[in-house]
Amino acid sequence: MASIEIQVPDIGDFDEVTVIELMVKVGDTVKAEQSLITVESDKASMEIPSSHAGVVKEVKVALGDKVKQGSLVVILEGEGGASAPAPSASVPNTATAPVEPAQAAPVSVASAPAAVAPAVAVPAHNPTTAPIGLPHASPSVRKFARELGVPLTEVKGSGLKGRITDADVQAFTRSVMSGAVQTVAGAAQNKSTGGGDGAGLGLIPWPKVDFTKFGPIERKELSRIKKISGANLLRNAIMIPAVTNHDDADITDLEAFRVSTNKENEKSGIKVTMLAFLIKACVAALKKFPEFNSSLDGDALIYKQFYHIGFAADTPNGLMVPVIKDADKKGIFQISVEMGELAKKARDGKLSPAEMSGASFTISSLGGIGGRYFTPIINAPEVAILGVCKSQMEPVWDGKAFVPRLMLPLSLTWDHRVIDGAAAARFNVYLGQILGDFRRVLL
């Protein structure tokens, strides 16, 4: 096997930068484009990715070393395969590192940071002390902290010169969740409400029960995905003033069209489910009601001019949310094929962070399973999510008689800071009209 020397690529305007984080060690298997080290100039920090896949034979830099374009970073024992295009300075700045979680999902995250953080001592934390200066952390750690809603200014770093690591962020999250530590915001809230120590929310502590007193038990660790999605869900459930509107859509004709389309295209092997039509119908509704396709940014709204639709997928390890990018530009067949591929990847644990990022709206469909209505949790920073349950035949009054119609239960949860109840009702009504007659999209 060939030895491959990985060097620092063109890093733009910087002559020399300091190595502040080693992200691999001898013996590690790295993929092409995986981040190897983090470097820092006086202006920014960035991650240096590997241009090839292979096994790390030698690490040629140490923490604190000064490096520049061409400096040798690691020597790989090549796998003779994948090689990425020569990385440039713009690459390392982005969240390509497979050690990062994907964008927050109610859910989410494929390649989260090393499964379960090794037990890290939680640095002493005093929420009443104002932090001095900006926290030192690499871009990937900052992104991870943002996704978990962790205030980095309150995390004590265990890395070189107090640098905050992924493990520090995870440890901090665990301590806040367990109630051992409070965030400044939580402490302030407790002070104002006179509350107790329930995870910084002014709640009474979580009940501690010895279940063995009542019968036999078995303790099992939560999956990596559940641990991370739990933190996201908790934040989203607590921080978003969410309301859910329930409605029904008459999909009798659409279902007949879907069934006949599948019959006609039996040989193609592409199966179209109701979810593909729902994605298209939601895109039409998002275009008509753009605030549903926005995100809050302080006192402003960011209106997205793209329609990337996330869909919740049930996997053996927990809930994942792959994203159909540019759903407005794709047809039902293409969406169906992509959905099938992404759902399979999700079940196989092979979704990349990029495949779970960038959603502007999410659909959670329990239609294949059952139920009537539910209250999905918004996938921040999105502002709305559509929950869908199983359609069923119902008697519907047509003005003269009850007629059997196939009705699809819809549950739209929306962020009341951005959307009003009237707009939500209109969104659902419009969605129902589109699903009732797709020709309306043309109007």
Q: Which residues bind ligand CAO (CB under 6 A)?
A: 273-275, 311-314, 319, 343, 364-368, 376, 388, 390-391, 408
Q: Which residues lie closer than 8 Å to 328 by C-beta, 6 or more apart?
A: 283, 287, 306, 307
Contact assessment for residue 302 and residue 292, using Cβ atoms and an 8 Å cutoff: no
Residue of minimal CB distance from ligand CAO?
Answer: 367
Beta-ladder partners of 365: 388
Minimal distance, residue 396 CB to ligand CAO, in Å? 16
CB nearer ligand CAO, residue 35 or residue 315: 315
Which listed residue (52, 125, 308, 416) is catalytic?
Answer: 416
Residues 89 and 318: their CA atoms lie apart, in Å, by 35
Minimal distance, residue 441 CB to ligand CAO, in Å? 19
CB nearer ligand CAO, residue 252 or residue 365: 365
Minimal distance, residue 354 CB to ligand CAO, in Å? 19
Contact assessment for residue 279 and residue 334, using Cβ atoms and an 8 Å cutoff: no
CB nearer ligand CAO, residue 225 or residue 312: 312
Residues 73 and 303: their CA atoms lie apart, in Å, by 41
Half-sphere exposure of 303 (CA within 13 A, CB side): 8
Q: Which residues lie closer than 8 Å to 334 by C-beta, 6 or more apart?
A: none
Distance separating the N- and C-terminal Cα atoms of the chain: 62
Half-sphere exposure of 176 (CA within 13 A, CB side): 26
CB nearer ligand CAO, residue 19 or residue 388: 388
What secondary structure does DSSP assign to 166-182, as a single string? HHHHHHHHHHHHHTSS-
Q: Is residue 308 annotated as a catalytic residue, yes or no?
A: no
CB nearer ligand CAO, residue 236 or residue 293: 236
CB nearer ligand CAO, residue 200 or residue 367: 367
DSSP assigned state of 95: S
Residues 312 and 111: their CA atoms lie apart, in Å, by 17
Provide the token pair at 101.
């979680």
Residue position matching structure tokens 């530590």: 181
Measured from the Cβ of residue 138, the count of other Cβ atoms closer than 10 Å reads 25
Minimal distance, residue 252 CB to ligand CAO, in Å? 12
Minimal distance, residue 365 CB to ligand CAO, in Å? 5
Residues 178 and 322: their CA atoms lie apart, in Å, by 30
Minimal distance, residue 242 CB to ligand CAO, in Å? 13
Task: Give me the active site residues, please.
Answer: 416
